[in-house]
C-alpha cells in the first residue's frame, strides 16, 4: 500500500473522543428518524435571471467552512455584491494558498481543522454560512461507509458552527448519494439535526447543466432559514453552451483569432518589436494585408459578464497546451480502452455536456470517467483553467498552485453558476446589513 493510500485509509478510520461522541449521537438519532417524511422542495416558476436585488447596498457577512477555493465567494464577486468574509477555513494547505491569492481575509480569521475551530466568538457576526462537508463517505464512487467513515461525521461540525454563530441562513452542499445512503436514514439524521437547531430547512438536487454550465454534475443543496420562509429553488434555464465553448472563447466569430493567431500576435518578438499591439491607445500604421499576416492592431473584447474589476485577459499558451496536456500514444490507448472482460465503459470524448469533474482527474482515468477533447487529431485532457471555467470560475481567478492541486481543488468545488442562481432566487441582499 503506497503512502497516499495509507493517508486515505487513515482519514477514513481516524479515531478520537470527539468522533466517537458524534457517532454515538448519530446512532441514538437513527432509531427515531425513520418516520420523518422527506420531500425535495419544488422548483419556482419565476424568472430568477431577470430578478433584481432588493437591497444592493447591503453588505452580506459571509462565513465558510470546508472553504476550498471559495465558490460562494467567487459567486459574490461575479454578482458584484457587497460582502465581507468573516471567517473561512480548509485543512488542505494548497486550498489556503489559492484562497488567500483570490480573496480578502486575515490570517486570524482562517482556520485549518474545523474540529479545532471555536466559532463562538463570531456569534451574531455572520449572516450567511456556506459549506460542503467532504463527500467521499457518501459518494457513489467511494466506499459509501457513511458515518462509519470519520469524514462522514464532519457534517456535525458544520451544524456545530451554525449553532454557535446563529446565522440568518446557511447553505449545505453535498453529493446526490447522500439522499439515499442507508435507505435515506443518513439524510434524515442530518435533516433532523438542522431542524433541531431551529432552522426552516429546504433541500433539492440540482444539476449544473440546468444553470448555464455544460457539466453533468448533480449535487444536493440544502438551505436553512432562521425564520420560517417560503422558498422554492430556481427553475432550470436553457443550456446555451457546450463544453467546447469553455475551451476557448464563449463566442465564435470570424473576427476572433484562433490558436495560431493568438500565439503569433502575443509572441514576445512581435510585442517587443511593436509589430502588433492589443488595446493600444494609438493605432499602428494600417497595412493593406494586416488581416492576413496578423501584424497591426488587435482589440481584446471581454464578455459583458467579464467586465469586472480585476478581470485579467486570458491568453491561451498553445505550445504549453500541446506539449503538456496532450496524451502520449500509450496513455491515449489506455483512456480510450473500452474495458476488460466483463467491465465495459464508454470511450466517447468531445462531449457537449461534460462528465462530472473529479478531484482525482489528474490521475487520468478512462474516457468513461474523465473528460477528454481532441484537437488537430490529438487527444488531450482539460487544462486546469478549463476545469475552473467548467466550475463557473472566471479567468480572473488566480492559479497559484500546481496543476495537480488545481485539478483536485476544482473537482472538489461547488459550481459557481448554481450558487448564483440560488443567491438570486432567495435575494441574498435581504439578509445583509446596511453599511454604517
pLDDT tens track for 151-201: 456 788 888 899 999 999 999 999 888 888 777 777 888 888 888 889 999
Q: Which of 412, 418, 417, 422 is nearest to 98 (CA)?
A: 412
Question: What is the chain's mean pLDDT, rounded?
Answer: 77
Residue 47: per-residue pLDDT: 95
Give the CA-trace dihedral at 147, 23, 64, 363, to 10 degrees. -30
Angstrom distances, CA of residue 217 to CA of 212, 393, 425: 12, 15, 20
Residue 60 is inside which H or E element, if any?
Answer: strand 60-65
Residue 102 pLDDT > 80? yes
pLDDT for 258 equals 57
Distance in angstroms (rounded) separating the CA atoms of residues 383 and 180? 33
CA dihedral sign of residues 360, 363, 366, 371: positive
Q: Please, what are the domains in the chain?
A: 15-238+416-431 (3.40.50.150), 243-264+299-411 (3.90.120)
pLDDT tens for 339-376 read: 666 656 677 888 888 888 888 887 777 777 788 777 65
| pLDDT tens track for 34-44 | 777 788 999 99
Bridge-based pairing of strands 218-225 and 200-207 is antiparallel
For residue 318, give every residue at least 6 positions away whose Cβ sits within 8 Å of its Cβ, in sequence order, or none. 259, 260, 262, 263
**Which pLDDT belongs to residue 183?**
78
So what's the pLDDT on residue 357?
Answer: 83
Active site residues: 135
d(CA 45, CA 232): 9
Sign of CA dihedral 409, 412, 415, 416: negative
Look at residue 187 in the predicted model and tell me its pLDDT: 86
The predicted structure's pLDDT at residue 251 = 34
* Residue 148 to residue 159: CA distance in whole angstroms: 18
Measured over the CA atoms of residue 54, residue 59, residue 65 and residue 70, the dihedral's sign is: positive
Q: For the ranges 100-104, 194-198, 212-216, 246-250, which has the lowest average pLDDT? A: 246-250
Please count the other Cβ atoms lying within 10 Å of the Cβ belonging to residue 130.
Answer: 25
Backbone angles phi, psi at 101, to 5 degrees: -80, -20
Residues of the chain above pLDDT 70, percent: 68
CB atoms within 10 A of CB 245: 15
Given a cut of 50, whether residue 210 has pLDDT beyond it is yes
- What pTM, to 2 d.p., does this model score? 0.76
Most distant CA pair in the chain, distance: 81
Q: Report whether 117 contacts 154 (CB < 8 A).
A: no
Amino acid at each position: 500500500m503506497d503512502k497516499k493510500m495509507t493517508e486515505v485509509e487513515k482519514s477514513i478510520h481516524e479515531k478520537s473522543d470527539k468522533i466517537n461522541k458524534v457517532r454515538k449521537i448519530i446512532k441514538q438519532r437513527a432509531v427515531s428518524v425513520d418516520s420523518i417524511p422527506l420531500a425535495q422542495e419544488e422548483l419556482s416558476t419565476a424568472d430568477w435571471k431577470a430578478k433584481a436585488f432588493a437591497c444592493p447596498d447591503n453588505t452580506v457577512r459571509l462565513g465558510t467552512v470546508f472553504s476550498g477555493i471559495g465558490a460562494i465567494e467567487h459567486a459574490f464577486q461575479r454578482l458584484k455584491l457587497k460582502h465581507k468574509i468573516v471567517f473561512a477555513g480548509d485543512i488542505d494547505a494548497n486550498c489556503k494558498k489559492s484562497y488567500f491569492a483570490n480573496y480578502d481575509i486575515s490570517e486570524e480569521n482562517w482556520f485549518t481543522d474545523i474540529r479545532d475551530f471555536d466559532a463562538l466568538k463570531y456569534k451574531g457576526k455572520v449572516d450567511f454560512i456556506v459549506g460542503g462537508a467532504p463527500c467521499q463517505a457518501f459518494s457513489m464512487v467511494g466506499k459509501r461507509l457513511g458515518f462509519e467513515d470519520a469524514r462522514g461525521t464532519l457534517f456535525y461540525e458544520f451544524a456545530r458552527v451554525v449553532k454557535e454563530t446563529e446565522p440568518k441562513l446557511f447553505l449545505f452542499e453535498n453529493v446526490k448519494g447522500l439522499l439515499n445512503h442507508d435507505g435515506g436514514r443518513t439524510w434524515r439524521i442530518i435533516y433532523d439535526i438542522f431542524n433541531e437547531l431551529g432552522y426552516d430547512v429546504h433541500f433539492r438536487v440540482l444539476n449544473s447543466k440546468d444553470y448555464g454550465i455544460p457539466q453533468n454534475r448533480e449535487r444536493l443543496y440544502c438551505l436553512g432559514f432562521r425564520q420560517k420562509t417560503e422558498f422554492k429553488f430556481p427553475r432550470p434555464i436553457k443550456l446555451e453552451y457546450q463544453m467546447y465553448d469553455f475551451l476557448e472563447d464563449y463566442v465564435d466569430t470570424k473576427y476572433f483569432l484562433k490558436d495560431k493567431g493568438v500565439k503569433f500576435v502575443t509572441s514576445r518578438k512581435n510585442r517587443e518589436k511593436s509589430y502588433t499591439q492589443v488595446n493600444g491607445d494609438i493605432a499602428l500604421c494600417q497595412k493593406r494585408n494586416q488581416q492576413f499576416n496578423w501584424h497591426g492592431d488587435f482589440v481584446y473584447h471581454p464578455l459583458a459578464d467579464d467586465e469586472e474589476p480585476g478581470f485579467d485577459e486570458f491568453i491561451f499558451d498553445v505550445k504549453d497546451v500541446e506539449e503538456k496536456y496532450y496524451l502520449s500514444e500509450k496513455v491515449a490507448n489506455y483512456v480510450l480502452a473500452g474495458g476488460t472482460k466483463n467491465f465495459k465503459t464508454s470511450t466517447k470524448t468531445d462531449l457537449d455536456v461534460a462528465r462530472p469533474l473529479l478531484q482525482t482527474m489528474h490521475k487520468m482515468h478512462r474516457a468513461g470517467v474523465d473528460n477528454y477533447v481532441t484537437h488537430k487529431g490529438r487527444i488531450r485532457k482539460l487544462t486546469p483553467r478549463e476545469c475552473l471555467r467548467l466550475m463557473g470560475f472566471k479567468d480572473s481567478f488566480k492559479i497559484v498552485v500546481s496543476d495537480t492541486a488545481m485539478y483536485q481543488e476544482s473537482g472538489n468545488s461547488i459550481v459557481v453558476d448554481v450558487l448564483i442562481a440560488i443567491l438570486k432566487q432567495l435575494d441574498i441582499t435581504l439578509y445583509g446589513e446596511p453599511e454604517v
